[in-house]
Structure 1
Amino acid sequence: MADEKKTSKKTDTKSKKKSDKKKSKKNPFKSIAGFFKSVNNEGKKVSWPNAKEVLKNSVTVLVVIAIVAAVIYVIDLGLTSGMKGIKQLAQKETTTASETTTKATSDETLTENTTEDTAEATTSAE
């Protein structure tokens, strides 16, 4: 009797495993159809706005977009003019520095030329 119980338990577990395999293999078309049915049911639950609400919301969105665009334009304009100012300032400083260097070089040249001319004139006179 104990052997019979053991064998019947083994057969029951085997039949359960087979039935589990059959249950796990569902028809994919039924699953897809079930998905679209649930989508349709959820769509029916949605409260859709009327034409006045849509128009009001659209105008609100357009006004906000216009305000944000104006703010971005002003910021861009400020940054652009600031960068131009910095660039001009850098060019002025470079020009001033090169003029100073040129003046110093020309002053030194004049001094050297004057010294050389004086030395030559002295040697020639002797």
Structure 2
Amino acid sequence: MKKPILFFTFITHLFCASVSNGELEIITIDANFAKNLTINDKFTPWLKHPTKPGFMIAFIPVDYNASGVVSIKNTINDTVGHTEFIISKKDYKTEDITSIINKFKIDDKTAELIKKEKK
């Protein structure tokens, strides 16, 4: 009885968590419950925790351009623990790189691509 309670405590702890785009979330779980992990329906391996014996960790990367939710499922013997991270938009600083125009020359095709990307 103790094992299922720990498993569902882990999943409940993650419920309604939020993460910003461009960040990495690390989750930890007792090794007995670290089985088949998928992130957005893609298999992801559990890794041994570097400092806590008997625990596993998983890295949850969030793409810089991502929005919506990250869906996480951990399946043990036909029992699925499911949670979602809500992706919040983070405002990142932008920088412009300037250079002296006569230091380099680009062809017309590349110039058109740059022009499109700036829009």
TM-score of the superposition, structure 2-length normalised? 0.24
Higher helix share: 1
TM norm structure 1: 0.23
Normalized per residue, which structure has more strand? 2
